[in-house]
Structure formats: structure tokens, C-alpha cells
Amino acid sequence: MQSKKTERVALSVLNKPGVLGRVAGHIRHEGWNIKRLIVDEDEKPADKTGGAGTSTMEIDIEGTHTKLAQVMDRILGLDCVLSVAMIRNGRKILRRRPQDSPEQAPFSEAAVTIPPKTAGALRILAINPGSTSTKFGLYDNEKCILKKTIRHDAASLARYASVLDQKEFRRDCIMKSLEEAGLDYASLDAVAGRGGLLKPIESGTYLINRKMLADLHSATAAIHASALGAIIAAEIAGPLSIPAYVVDPVVVDEMDRNAKLTGMPGVERSSVFHALNQKAIARRLAAELGMQYENTRFIVAHLGGGITVGAHRYGRVIDVNDALSGEGPFTPERTGSIPAIPLINMCFSGEYTEAEMIEKISGKGGMKAYLGTADLRDIQKMINDGDEFAALALDSMAYQVSKEIGAMAAVLEGLVDAIILTGGLAYSTRFTGAIKQRVDKLAPVHVFPGEDEMLALVSGVRRVLGGTEEAAQYG
């Protein structure tokens, strides 16, 4: 057993809310013990740090030498940390956050001038509407040259009676931003839009046709803003005589027939999940491992406001929980699977309307119901402040995700090449660490925090335009 030693670490951090809790929680979760922590606010002018100002943290950490040697890289991964130094024998070994290269620099909301298209590049516009925001990105091949998130306040959306009624408003927001940046629409080769709640389809890149647009205008498909992605994409692409596509919409259905039956005739399990991100991340890992996605057996857990865990067998997702309908682990906003009879009793109690019950399950359940917030940063702060129930709730969510991963391992007959954790919650090392602890004996665990659904849209379109994949037909 390695002996433990205490070493000193000095961090320069931005004065952002919760920074102390994030740094301390990160260190403790990695198994390091904090023996001493001092924070001093710097005199550096705040305007040079985006208005935040900076502080210096000096922390004495106890642990094995091997783990402490990882402090610099791990801590520098936090967006609130500017630099970190190990202090040994009075000498500092300093590392700063790497300066962003032009390819990696974060895109600001400030005005950007779109450069001329590089010869031979495919210029693709990707559109991803959410419930309160509209994201879009402009790519030359897979290099993003413009990315923007347009946030819509409640008042601006309240003017519209339905999601579909927001179409012109959101489309005009996108086009105005593109025109301000100087886009030559003639330079576009294709437009990709996030697909909505269409009928169940196979995985693939689909050319948007009249049948798809008609289905997206139905009452079922139009309940979520994702339907607008394909509709707006088609409206922009049409006058330019270029194709518009959707890629792996949420209704991708490749489930094994054994996965469909529920035990109650008339009620079948559905395949509604984060297909776009799950498939894209699975392809990425397969490429990193030198494998073809179609030759792999992966379990992919998308960890976000909704949590879906899919069994990927040879390029097909043969089983996955339908988080939208209340299956699987509880999440920051959803209840997940709950005992049926108590739920039935609540439905017939007379205390709740149908709409209120649906909201309790799909929008105000999970962590929000337990702790009053669905924001993991707030929950982490509660834990760092000693809230034991917050810690129990977060660890229980990780426990349930682990159970779902175990179930998918059984679906794959125990033959699992890798387990992938992705989505926004995967940024939490405490959360992913609690999952790893339970499942890493099943297969190697790979963590891909966040998601890049617009790049996934672009990659799907490029496979079609490049001739490596044939466009699927919706009908």
C-alpha cells in the first residue's frame, strides 16, 4: 500500500458563484483529503477577467503521490480555474489553462464575420431548437465557423398558441443572425434540422420530404420544439434548391421484439431516446478504439435532464428506456420508473388533473421534486454545504443509472466492449464516479461529457454528401 503524503496546491480561480464548492467537491470525490484550505481575493481588476475578478486558493491535499500528480490536469479541466501550481520545497511547478487555438476557441455571442468557403469544403447549416432556445451552427466540413444560441424569454414565446406557431419567429431569428454575419446563402450545400416525434424509423440520415413535414405538423409530433428543426431547415433549403436532412431523430426504433412487450396487452414499450447523441458518441469511441461502430457492443448512457441508457449491438440500439414516458432512472426533472399501483391511486385521488400528473412525472419529478432544483451545480453546492439528503438523492440517481446499465449488460448477454457516459451530467466527477464504482467490472467505462448534437447532425449529412452513406427515405 502506498503511503500518504501532504502536498500543497495553489489555484488561481475566477470569482464565480459556487467555485469553492466545485473545486473542493472535485478534489474530495477523486479520493484526495483536504487538510487545509485558504482563499484570498486578488487585487487584479475585475474588468480583465470578464467582470468576475480572481482569487487564490491554497490547499493542502493528502493522498498517494500517484493521485496527487494528476491534480494539475484534473483541476485545470474546471472552467473556473485559470492556473494551478504544485508547491514542493518552496518551489512552484505552475501550469496555466492552455490558450484556446483558433480551432478550439469558444464562440462568443458577439458579431462574427463569416469567412469565404474553403475550396472543396461542404458548408452545412445545422438547426437545433429547444423549448426556450434556438441553437444553430454553420460548418465548413466539420469545422464550426459560427455557432449561436438564441434564448427566448417566456414573454416572447407566450405570444404563440402552439410550438408550430413559433416557426416564423424562430426562423427569422436564425436568418437575421446569419445575415448580420454576412452569410452568402449561395455558399450553403445543405441544411440539417433536429427531427421531432415522427413515426418510429430506422437509424440514418433522412431527406426531409413532404410526408415528413406533414407528420411533423401533427398534434403528436408538434408538442416539442424539435419538430421545428426539420420544418425550418426545409424552409431555408427550399428556395436555395439544396437538400435538407434530419439525422437520427428521437424516434429511432431498432428495438428487439423481446423488448417491446410489457405484460399488459395494448401497452407496448416505445423507442424514444437521445438517438442523435448516443449514436454519434458511440461512433466516436469506436473510431478511437480502431473499430467499426457496426462491429461493437456498447452500452451508452445519455445523462441529462432526461436519462436514456441504450444497448448498442452491431450498430443497432436493440433496447433502451423511454424516459419521455417515465421509464428508467429518475433524472433531474423526471420520476423515471415508479411503482404502478401508488401512481394509479394518485391519479384517481381527485387531487390532480391529468396535466398535473404528467407534469409531476416529466417536468417536476426527480431531483427537482426532492431538492427544488434540477441544476446539478446547485445540488453540488448543497452537498458541499453538508446537506446529507442532497448527497443521498444524487447518489440514488447514480445507483439507478447503474441498475439500468446492468440491465442492458444482460440484454447484450454480458458481452460488452465498452460503457459510455455522456451528456451534461457527465461533467460531474462525483456522479460519474458513483456509476463507475458499480459498473466498471462489466466493461471499460469511457466518459464523454456534454453533447455536440449540431456536429452530429453535420457529420450525418457529410456521410450522405460524401457518398459513404445513402440518404434514407421517410414514408
Q: How far apart are CA 275 and CA 246, in angstroms?
A: 12
Q: Is the pLDDT of residue 234 over 90?
A: yes
Q: How far apart are CA 245 and CA 195, in angstroms?
A: 9
Cell of 235: 424552409
Residue 193, number of CB atoms within 10 A of its CB: 31
What pLDDT was estimated at residue 101? Answer: 34
Give the position of cell 394518485. Answer: 346
Q: Is the pLDDT of residue 339 over 60?
A: yes
Q: What average pLDDT does this structure show over 97-113?
A: 45
Distance, first Cα to last Cα, the chain:
63
- pLDDT tens, position by position, 411-470: 999 999 999 999 989 999 999 999 999 999 999 999 999 888 889 999 999 999 999 999
Q: Is the pLDDT of residue 53 over 80?
A: no
Closest CA to 11 of 49, 42, 46, 45: 42
What pLDDT was estimated at residue 20? Answer: 77
Instruction: Looking at mean pLDDT, say which of 75-79, 127-131, 233-237 comes out highest.
Output: 233-237
Q: Is the pLDDT of residue 122 over 90?
A: yes
Report the DSSP beta bridge partners of residue 40. Answer: 56
Residue 62 identity (one-letter amino acid): E
Q: How far apart are CA 195 and CA 273, in angstroms?
A: 12
Q: How far apart are CA 336 and CA 315, in angstroms?
A: 26
Backbone angles phi, psi at 173, to 5 degrees: -60, -45
Residue with the larger pLDDT of the pair 117 and 402: 402
What pLDDT was estimated at residue 98? Answer: 55
Residue with the larger pLDDT of the pair 365 and 156: 365
What pLDDT was estimated at residue 66? Answer: 42
Residue with the larger pLDDT of the pair 3 and 123: 123
What pLDDT was estimated at residue 91? Answer: 58
Q: How far apart are CA 59 and CA 46, in angstroms?
A: 23
Q: How far apart are CA 342 and CA 144, in angstroms?
A: 49
Q: Is the pLDDT of residue 402 over 60?
A: yes
Dihedral Cα 201, 206, 211, 217, nearest 10 deg? 80
Give Rg (Cα) of the chain: 24
Residue 71's pLDDT band (cuts 50, 70, 90): low
Q: Which of 64-78, 141-155, 275-289, 324-338 has the lowest mean pLDDT?
A: 64-78
Q: How far apart are CA 106 and CA 110, in angstroms?
A: 11
Mean pLDDT of the chain: 86
Encode 171-216 in three state secondary structure: HHHHHHHHHHCCCCHHHCCEEEECCCCCCCECCCEEECCHHHHHHH
Cα angle 377, 383, 385; round to 5: 105
What pLDDT was estimated at residue 220? Answer: 72
Instruction: Looking at mean pLDDT, say which of 13-17, 93-97, 113-117, 462-466 comes out highest.
Output: 462-466
Give the CA distances from residue 216 to residues 118, 137, 210, 224, 226, in Å, rounded to whole numbers and listed in that order. Answer: 35, 22, 10, 10, 9
